[in-house]
Amino acid sequence: MKKILIWSIPASLVFLIGVYFLFTLGRPAPVATKYEVYEGVTYRRIVRYLPHAMIAHVIVIDRRETNPKFLVTPPDDIEGGVLAARTTSQFLEEFGVQIAINGDGFFPWRSNGPADYYPHVGDPVTPNGFTASNEDVYADGLQDPRAEPILYVSRRNEISFNRPPNKIFQAIAGDRMLMLGGNIVSDLDNEAIHPRTAIGVNKNGRYIYLVVVDGRQPFYSAGATFQELAELLKDLGAHYAMALDGGGSSTLVIRDENGNAKILNSPIDHLIPGNERVVANHFGVFINE
């Protein structure tokens, strides 16, 4: 009897591990990893199981080792909105950036299932908040034109939060600030767990952090609360950090060695893992151009 038990336990573990990895097939492996994607640009996958499953995808850009330039989705000449909706992958391919994440929330929007949703690719949409691209301010915000939080980019590609430079070159609004001056913002929600997207910088601006947390995928990654997202940014070394639109919009894309868009996370739209949502604007990075 003892001999049977000794051999049955490892077999059971192997079976469970096999089932788990079959379940995650087609998604990034739930294994922590770190590697360089471009000179001066590192990708990290952070995997946690407590207090719930969470897989975070992190791009760290070292400004001393590379020369990043930033781009917020430019406006389109379209009736009914200021942008033609596109996925984050389509944005990367169309505008030639090397790295892209989804941006601000937007309107109109609905998601009642795969047969009833808006927008589709090319449909007119407008970002929720203040937005500028290449000095062209094309969205003033739903109510308050300068409602925080807003990420600004100067012509010299310096990033600041909520303090516009003398000349705004790029700007994108977010959901809320996560970190201010090295401290986690007080009273962040620590209950609602969803996919998340965030951007942060360290104290002297050398490092830029792009973070996407997968979510709404049982036994793979539940997501993160805003408090957990802020703690993750703090652990990475961020001094300032802002959450962008999350949920089914959360997507991280890079240009691979063949020049094609490669999705690094497992986005989820209409509760379908790997299904990329059509969104309004995006935050893109050119590397060494």
CB atoms within 10 A of CB 193: 21
Question: Average of pLDDT values for 72-93?
Answer: 97
Q: What is the pLDDT of residue 288?
A: 79
Decide if pLDDT at 5 tops 50: no
Average pLDDT value over all residues in the chain: 92
Global pTM value: 0.91
Give residue 275's pLDDT band: very low, low, confident or very high (50, 70, 90). Answer: very high
Decide if pLDDT at 40 tops 70: yes
Decide if pLDDT at 206 tops 60: yes
Structure tokens at 278: 């059509």
Decide if pLDDT at 3 tops 90: no
Question: Average of pLDDT values for 27-56?
Answer: 97
3-state secondary structure the chain: CHHHHHHHHHHHHHHHHHHHHHHCCCCCCCCCEEEEEECCEEEEEEEECCCCCEEEEEEEEECCCCCCEEEECCCCCCCCCCEECECHHHHHHHHCCCEEEECCCEECCEECCCCCEECCCCCEEEECCEEEECCEEEEECCCCCCCCCEEEECCCCCEEECCCCCCCCEEEECCEEEEECCEECCCCCCCCCECEEEEEECCCCCEEEEEEECCCECCCECCECHHHHHHHHHHHCCCEEEECCCHHHCCEEEECCCCCEEECCCCEECCEECCCCCECCEEEEECCC
Decide if pLDDT at 20 tops 90: no
Report the alpha-carbon distance of residue 117 to residue 37 in Å, rounded.
34
Decide if pLDDT at 26 tops 90: no
- Omega cis (within 30) before 75: no
Residue of 5 and 56 predicted with greater confidence: 56
Decide if pLDDT at 68 tops 90: yes
Report the alpha-carbon distance of residue 244 to residue 253 in Å, rounded.
15
Question: Average of pLDDT values for 185-193?
Answer: 97
Report the alpha-carbon distance of residue 114 to residue 124 in Å, rounded.
19
Q: Among 155, 105, 147, 107, which residue's Cα sits nearest to residue 130?
A: 147
| pLDDT cut 90: percent of the chain above it | 87
Q: What is the pLDDT of residue 8?
A: 52
Q: What is the pLDDT of residue 253?
A: 98
Q: What is the pLDDT of residue 24?
A: 65
Question: Average of pLDDT values for 4-14?
Answer: 54
Residue-wise pLDDT tens digits, 174-187: 999 999 999 999 99
Structure tokens at 195: 């996919």
Phi, psi of 21 (to 5 degrees): -75, -30
Q: What is the pLDDT of residue 148?
A: 84
